[in-house]
Chains A and B, each alone.
Chain A
Amino acid sequence: MNDESSFQHPFHLRGKTVLVTGASSGIGRAVAVECARAGARVVINGRDAARLGDTLALLEAGLDHVACVADLTDPPQMARLVAACGELDGVVHAAGVHGVTPLRMLRQSFMQTVLDANFLAPLMLTQQLLAKKTLRNGASLVFMSSIAAHTGTVGVGPYSASKAALEGMIRPLALEIAPRAMRANAIAPGLVDTPLVNDDRAWLDEKAKMYPLGLGKPEDVAYAAIYLLADISRKVTGTQLHLDGGIPWT
């Protein structure tokens, strides 16, 4: 009992294979890197072959990590990814796009592209993984939501709606997959310093003042994903894990 050397903390993913979408940059890349460091074999997906290759090169060596280039808004490409995955113990849906436009200027075609990338892609990838029996019993599904699903920001309507749709899907999904001890949870981060949002540094610095603990780093999100993927969270399902530097909202 007092033997410290034999103890290994429960926040590890040894023996697990985890699919990470959107792994070519930002949060997805950090999730892939940290999952590999936590002991997982990682299947990474993204649209940009060169940048996805860069992520693959960053992964802790030793396990047979796989990169699969696919645009998940295109069904044949998604099918190719599902076929390439093999059996999975976890999925982190980190692929996503901006969706910023004031409502009076919104075109339906724009709304559709935001929904396709942020809502329908993770939803239908989950459907495919379930239908093709790719998920092992006890698998943990982690969806990337956003604080924007819960708060109001001018112009962010399409993005907020797409993330709120995702969160709405998670509770029924959690109930449907529970008989196989599988779980579904969302992570709802505030502003994380990633290429998705850091092209305008002045705007980002101004926004950072709203966050009592500052802006998030991609690794912060990765560590939350590791908690939700690990067996230690086996009783956590259907939740949103809020990760936002303590920004005041309810």
Chain B
Amino acid sequence: MSASPFSLAGRTILITGASSGIGEATARLCAAMGARILACGRDRERLANVVADLAGADHQTIVGDLTDPAARQALVDAAPSLDGCVFSAGAAQLAPMRMVTQRHLDQLFAVNYDAPVLLTQALLAKRKIAANASLVYVTAVAEHVAPHATGIYSGAKAALTATVRTIAVEHAKQGVRANCVSPGYVATPMLDGLQNVMSTGDKAALAPLGMIEPGDVAGAIAWLLAPASRWVSRTSLIIDSGLTLHVR
């Protein structure tokens, strides 16, 4: 065997949501493993700071909100041929079912479902996904357990998981793989944002192996991007610290 199956050297990888949380940790790890990163996020300054700090050279940034069709188009136009894509841009909002509105539903689906799915469509249509590329989608273990007030968030993530299976089966001929990582509560700015509506610390304390750090999820994503997982596709890897063991 020549190259290490755990190296990303020579690979170009798109990471959405790269300016913070799981996306940021993934950019750091993948760059350190030798990848050239195309980092996408909404906050220009934070994104620039993340990329300035990455190992290696020739990384690229593209600022934009991927729920905006024009931003997706700009990203697709700017993208070189991609050996990997990590769809980690996402948003969570809570609403009990009796208070769900069309607006809540549209917002959560726009970020968590429409954006990654339509970006994938455009990248495939414009032939920006290289043969043997690995696509990794960040979902949430909520897709399985759907606790209180997460009906629409869980639904959007479950919908994404289902669509990823189709992407995988349709593009296996080119050796393209598509998988999900399905994390529990991860210590990210997104989770901090929910502090005023739920006690996230209490929830995380229920997990037998404790709070999950962004780097834990990044490790799973990096494994799914690397040649080491060349036979893994159409699956979802749960990283939940044991949180949902009693209900799945």
What residues of chain A have their CB less than 8 Å away from a CB belonging to chain B?
1-4, 7, 9-11, 171, 174-175, 178-179, 181, 183, 212-214, 216-217, 219-220, 223-224, 226-227, 232-239, 241-248, 250
Asked whether any CB of chain A lies closer than 8 Å to the CB of B228, the reply is yes
The complex places the Cα of A211 from the Cα of B239 at a distance, in Å, of 26
Contact residues in A for B177 (Cβ distance below 8 Å): 213, 246
Question: Given A233-B219, A233-B220, A239 and B237 touching (CB < 8 A)?
Answer: yes
Q: Which of A7, A237, A245 contacts B233 (CB 8 A)?
A: A245
| In contact, B245 and A243 (Cβ under 8 angstroms) | no
Question: Given A2-B55, A236-B239, A213 and B209 touching (CB < 8 A)?
Answer: no
Question: Given A213-B175, A227-B223, A235 and B239 touching (CB < 8 A)?
Answer: yes
Q: Which 7 A-B pairs have the closest CB atoms?
A: A246-B233, A212-B172, A178-B208, A232-B219, A223-B228, A220-B231, A242-B235
**Can you identify 24 A-B contacts, CB atoms within 8 angstroms?**
A1-B53, A2-B54, A2-B56, A4-B56, A9-B32, A9-B222, A11-B223, A11-B226, A171-B246, A174-B245, A175-B245, A178-B208, A212-B168, A212-B169, A213-B172, A223-B5, A223-B228, A232-B220, A232-B223, A235-B212, A241-B235, A244-B231, A246-B169, A246-B177
Contact residues in A for B220 (Cβ distance below 8 Å): 227, 232-233, 236
Closest to A190 in B: B231
A16 to chain B, nearest CB (A): 16
B50 to chain A, nearest CB (A): 11
Contact residues in B for A2 (Cβ distance below 8 Å): 53-56
Contact residues in A for B223 (Cβ distance below 8 Å): 11, 227, 232
Asked whether any CB of chain A lies closer than 8 Å to the CB of B24, the reply is no
Asked whether any CB of chain A lies closer than 8 Å to the CB of B128, the reply is no
Within 8 A of A (CB), among B176-222: 177, 184, 208-210, 212, 216, 219-220, 222
B92 to chain A, nearest CB (A): 19
| In contact, A239 and B228 (Cβ under 8 angstroms) | no
The complex places the Cα of A2 from the Cα of B34 at a distance, in Å, of 11
| In contact, A238 and B242 (Cβ under 8 angstroms) | yes
Question: Given A212-B172, A227-B223, A241-B237, A235 and B245 touching (CB < 8 A)?
Answer: no
Contact residues in B for A226 (Cβ distance below 8 Å): 228
Contact residues in B for A236 (Cβ distance below 8 Å): 220, 237-239
Asked whether any CB of chain A lies closer than 8 Å to the CB of B230, the reply is yes
| In contact, A11 and B169 (Cβ under 8 angstroms) | no
| In contact, A227 and B228 (Cβ under 8 angstroms) | yes
| In contact, B234 and A246 (Cβ under 8 angstroms) | yes
A78 to chain B, nearest CB (A): 27
The complex places the Cα of A245 from the Cα of B248 at a distance, in Å, of 24
What residues of chain B have their CB less than 8 Å away from a CB belonging to chain A?
4-7, 29, 32-34, 53-56, 165, 168-169, 172-173, 175, 177, 184, 208-210, 212, 216, 219-220, 222-223, 226, 228-235, 237-242, 245-246, 248
| In contact, A235 and B237 (Cβ under 8 angstroms) | no
The complex places the Cα of A245 from the Cα of B237 at a distance, in Å, of 15
Contact residues in A for B172 (Cβ distance below 8 Å): 212-213, 245-246
B24 to chain A, nearest CB (A): 13
B179 to chain A, nearest CB (A): 9
The complex places the Cα of A66 from the Cα of B55 at a distance, in Å, of 39
Question: Given A11-B6, A227-B223, A212 and B216 touching (CB < 8 A)?
Answer: no
Question: Given A175-B245, A178-B209, A237-B241, A217 and B219 touching (CB < 8 A)?
Answer: no
The complex places the Cα of A234 from the Cα of B211 at a distance, in Å, of 11
| In contact, B7 and A9 (Cβ under 8 angstroms) | yes
Closest to B211 in A: A235
B216 to chain A, nearest CB (A): 5
Contact residues in A for B32 (Cβ distance below 8 Å): 4, 7, 9
| In contact, B216 and A4 (Cβ under 8 angstroms) | no
| In contact, A232 and B216 (Cβ under 8 angstroms) | yes
| In contact, A213 and B230 (Cβ under 8 angstroms) | yes
Closest to B223 in A: A227
Interface centre among A179, A217, A246, A247 (most CB of B within 10 A): A246
The complex places the Cα of A128 from the Cα of B175 at a distance, in Å, of 43
The complex places the Cα of A245 from the Cα of B232 at a distance, in Å, of 5
